[in-house]
Amino acid sequence: MKYRISLFCLILCNCIDIAFGACPVPSVDGKDGYCYKIGSNSAAHDDAIKSCDDGFHLPKVLNAATNAEVKKSADYMGSDVWLGASCDDNLNCKWDDGSDMGGGFDFWLGHNPNAINGKCVALTIADGTGRWQSVGCDADTKKGVVCQKANGDTPPITPVPVGTMSTSAPIISLSCDNAAGWKDGGDSNCYEYAAAALIFDDAVTRCNTDGGQVPKILNKLTNEEVQKLATDLKMQVWLGLKCQPDGSCKWNDGTTLNYANWIDGKPDVTEGACATMKLSGSHAGFWESADCNFDKGVICQKAATVTTSATTVPSPGYYCASGFSLEKDNRCYLPFVNNNAAKFANAEAVCKSRGAQLAIIENDEQNLIYQKVMSASGDGHLNAYLGLTYNPNTKTYSWVDGTSPNYANFSPANVASFGNCVEIFLSGQLAPKWLNTDCESVLPFACVTPASTTPVSTVLPPSGSTPATIVPPFNCNYEYFNSETVKSPNYPNPYPASIECDSLLVVDKYYVSVTFQNFSLEWGDYIDIFDGPHSGYPLLFRIQSGSAVVNQSFTTATSNKMLMRFVSAAGPTVATGFMAYFQPEIMPYTGPTLSPAQNPTTVVPWIGTPAPSNPYFCPDPNVFKSSGLIASPGYPQRFGTALNCLYHLQADTDTETISITFGPIDIDPNFDVLDLYDGNSLDSTRLARITHPTNYARSSAQFRR
């Protein structure tokens, strides 16, 4: 389990400032007949009830659609949430309005309801399904708060303004049993998160019990879907195959492999007969052999249900310009993704030069079409621009053609202060919801225009205009030769968040030596240095933020090529990155090297705790003065169980305060807790208690001493 200490404040005081339908500000329409708004992510049951005012109440869930809406909010908050229900000692359960829970939709977790655990009810996100469980009602039991209110005026779908639609064409549609926890994978399969960690045989049994199987991967599309699900689960998962000592492999149903994606082109059966998938680095999405008796995550797979029905299709006699694709809403789409992503103003100019505009969405069908078009383009990007902007002065939204929206699909968690542009999520729990975003964000987008009723070959830029070009925000991967300067993206300005940049340094002979002239990274960001041209070579150094490396040199051990990988986490950055100079070096590095499979030890100075290599021991000594880094035992890998670690942070003098900056947390809300005290003992005032994982990185707190 990865663990990085973090504090965060989820500010919802400026939620979306425009309401559609009958949902009052700042709530939004859940499309299931209810309005929703998010409250605290950690409140006792009685406090949660009181916080749902103005006719709102804790959620009453009568069907799978409502359960899915409540789960989306819980997933965004990163915490289980209260439901408006309770059970008595005889397990007779009722909603807060007095109606019985047992008369309709039922989504209890196994062995629930359970009077031993408590009489209140929460929707849990622990297993990824959104099932219900019994929990205590006491003041020490904290859950997230989602408030619900009936929506008496859900806005109708606006008709598509272009062309005449035909509904006579029968098509095949695929569906999954969402109520039972299965989700559509987009590859003709359904998937569920079955268990956090099991050995292979137990994983097979678990999936078979639910009518599925451990994933069988027959093509690149399914491989990418399993990779995406495993990444969301934050752990490697089993693949449904086994290999023999001679390297031949079969799926669990006995069929041979017609598609494979092994790291080295074949399995390494010396590591084990089973297989899992790499989730990070240059080999992300590739398969690797593993011991069948190791614990891995479990995702189950089964074929989607196939039905035949009529649906809308593009009307005959509609045409698009070259490069555009005609969709069933009789509009033409031209996506710009990957290196062609752009800031909003640039994206808008590009579309105008093509005789089109950024996407205007007028109903649910167009929203899903846009999601599909963008998801099918590029390399799995998460979000894309819409042609919608926000005016913070008037607190109104408008499309790029100047019209006001009569349709919207904002997430309940949207906050207007996120930015004055709008993005749509293409995958993950928020898809296909919208969020405000910074207009300076570099995002994919699509140019959209109504289809023509006469054949067209191209759309020329307006007379006298110059077609806009898209310039990537930065070049992330470079090759350097002999003696050159290497810089982080945007240096000396702050570098972007959530990037992985590879710099290949090559000299004609001897070894590569790189010297850092400037070095400033955010907490959690790092540079890996490999003894060769790619990450499959031994890892020599991991240089963390806070390391004293200016004017220090790092040299390869065996190669005239060095891969330097720079990784930044999510979250705002103010650090300027690095500038380094490399050149040939006659003397090689002779210290320890690590195989690619091993976790790196910080070779350069780790200021603060000793390099946290042992997950089962607390730091000793545990008093840290002046400044430096602290980390959980075993970081960045899992920490051990039954630990009770104390970290004493001291300023140099009694007149100074202590400032601590945190990175992301990854802890188990059922077992783990991080307490911060304003003093040197557990009897001091407790300032904060952190019990849930969060991605709100790089937040700071100050203490008196």
Mean pLDDT over 647-668 rounds to 73
For residue 176 the two structure tokens come to 């999954």
Q: Which residues pair with 334 in a beta bridge?
A: 447
Q: Which residue has the higher pLDDT, 520 or 701?
A: 520
pLDDT at 123 over 80: yes
Q: Are 632 and 639 in contact (CB under 8 A)?
A: yes
Residues 6+ apart with CB under 8 A from 205: none
- Tally of CB atoms within 10 A around 265: 8
pLDDT of residue 675: 81
pLDDT at 700 over 90: no
Q: Hunting for tokens 């919207």 — which residue is that? A: 408
Note the pLDDT tens digit of each residue in 617-628. Answer: 666 666 666 566
Q: Hunting for tokens 């909603």 — which residue is that? A: 95
Q: Hunting for tokens 């002065």 — which residue is that? A: 393
Mean pLDDT over 633-644 rounds to 65
Report how far residue 677's alpha carbon sits from residue 686's, in angstroms, rounded to the nearest whole number.
4
Candidates 3.40.225.10, 3.20.20.140, 2.60.120.290, 2.40.50.140; CATH matching 478-585:
2.60.120.290
pLDDT at 425 over 90: no
Note the pLDDT tens digit of each residue in 178-207. Answer: 777 788 776 667 888 876 678 999 999 989
3-state secondary structure of 182: coil
Q: Tell me whether domains 174-306 and 332-450 share a fold.
A: yes
Name the CATH superfamily, with its identifier, for domain 174-306: Mannose-Binding Protein A, subunit A (3.10.100.10)
pLDDT at 502 over 70: yes
Residues 6+ apart with CB under 8 A from 487: 577, 578, 579, 580
DSSP per-residue string spanning 63-131: SHHHHHHHHHHHHHHTS-EEEEEEE-TT--EEETTS-BSTTS---BPTT-S-TTT-SEEEE--TTSS--
pLDDT of residue 693: 65
Report how far residue 289's alpha carbon sits from residue 245's, in angstroms, rounded to the nearest whole number.
12
Q: Are 373 and 361 in contact (CB under 8 A)?
A: no
3-state secondary structure of 271: coil
3-state secondary structure of 431: coil
pLDDT of residue 155: 33
Return the amino acid letter for 119.
K
Mean pLDDT over 686-704 rounds to 56
Q: Hunting for tokens 């693949």 — which residue is that? A: 239
pLDDT at 83 over 90: yes
- What phi, psi does 596 have (nearest 5°)? -60, -25
pLDDT of residue 249: 92
Report how far residue 462's alpha carbon sits from residue 280's, in angstroms, rounded to the nearest whole number.
45
Mean pLDDT over 207-230 rounds to 85
H or E stretch covering 148: strand 146-150
Grade residue 306 by pLDDT with cuts at 50, 70 and 90: low
Report how far residue 373's alpha carbon sits from residue 333's, in angstroms, rounded to the nearest whole number.
8
pLDDT at 385 over 70: yes
Mean pLDDT over 85-106 rounds to 80
pLDDT at 640 over 70: no
Of 78-87, 167-176, 369-378, the poorest mean pLDDT is in: 167-176
Candidates 3.10.100.10, 3.40.50.620, 3.10.20.30, 3.40.50.9100; CATH matching 332-450:
3.10.100.10
pLDDT of residue 628: 64
Mean pLDDT over 225-249 rounds to 88
For residue 657 the two structure tokens come to 């305060």
For residue 105 the two structure tokens come to 């939709």
Q: Which residues pair with 171 in a beta bridge?
A: 309
Note the pLDDT tens digit of each residue in 594-615. Answer: 444 343 333 333 333 344 555 5
183-184 β-sheet, strand order: 183-184, 189-198, 296-303
Residues 6+ apart with CB under 8 A from 200: 214, 238, 274, 292, 293, 296
Q: Hunting for tokens 């205590």 — which residue is that? A: 136
pLDDT at 579 over 70: yes
Report how far residue 3's alpha carbon sits from residue 405's, in angstroms, rounded to the nearest whole number.
43
pLDDT at 369 over 80: yes
Grade residue 120 by pLDDT with cuts at 50, 70 and 90: very high
pLDDT of residue 154: 37
Residues 6+ apart with CB under 8 A from 578: 486, 487, 488, 491, 516, 518, 519, 520, 521, 527, 566
Q: Which residue has the higher pLDDT, 533 or 115?
A: 533
Q: How many helices (H) and strands (E) does the chain have?
A: 6, 39
pLDDT of residue 480: 78
Quick one: DSSP state of residue 282?
A: G
- Tally of CB atoms within 10 A around 674: 17
Q: Could you tell me which of 245, 270, 243 has the C-alpha nearest to residue 257?
A: 243
Do the bridges between strand 623-625 and strand 648-650 make them parallel or antiparallel, or are there none, so unpaired? Answer: parallel
* Contacts of 279-285 spanning 24+ positions with Cβ under 8 A: 279/227, 279/230, 279/231, 279/235, 279/236, 281/535, 282/502, 282/534, 282/535, 282/536, 283/535, 283/536, 284/227, 285/223, 285/224, 285/227, 285/261
Sign of the dihedral defined by the CA atoms of residues 230, 234, 240, 241, in that order? positive
Report how far residue 162's alpha carbon sits from residue 314's, in angstroms, rounded to the nearest whole number.
10
Mean pLDDT over 450-472 rounds to 46
Mean pLDDT over 539-555 rounds to 78
| Domain residue limits, the chain | 28-150, 174-306, 332-450, 478-585, 612-704
Q: Which residue has the higher pLDDT, 423 or 684?
A: 423
Q: Are 298 and 214 in contact (CB under 8 A)?
A: yes
Mean pLDDT over 538-565 rounds to 82
Q: Which residue has the higher pLDDT, 694 or 171?
A: 694
Cα atoms in the Cβ-side hemisphere of radius 13 Å centred on 54: 10
pLDDT of residue 360: 96
pLDDT of residue 468: 33
132-135 β-sheet, strand order: 93-95, 81-87, 120-123, 132-135
In the chain, the percentage of residues whose pLDDT exceeds 90 is 16
Q: Which residue has the higher pLDDT, 507 or 668?
A: 507
Note the pLDDT tens digit of each residue in 313-327. Answer: 445 567 777 678 888
Note the pLDDT tens digit of each residue in 473-497. Answer: 344 667 777 777 888 888 887 888 7
pLDDT of residue 240: 93
Name the CATH superfamily, with its identifier, for domain 28-150: Mannose-Binding Protein A, subunit A (3.10.100.10)
Supply the mean pLDDT for the chain: 75
Mean pLDDT over 561-585 rounds to 83
Return the amino acid letter for 380.
G
Q: Are 95 and 58 in contact (CB under 8 A)?
A: no
Q: Could you tell me which of 377, 274, 281, 383 has the C-alpha nearest to residue 335?
A: 377
Q: Are 661 and 699 in contact (CB under 8 A)?
A: yes
Residues 6+ apart with CB under 8 A from 642: none
Grade residue 387 by pLDDT with cuts at 50, 70 and 90: very high
Report how far residue 134's alpha carbon sits from residue 66's, in angstroms, rounded to the nearest whole number.
19
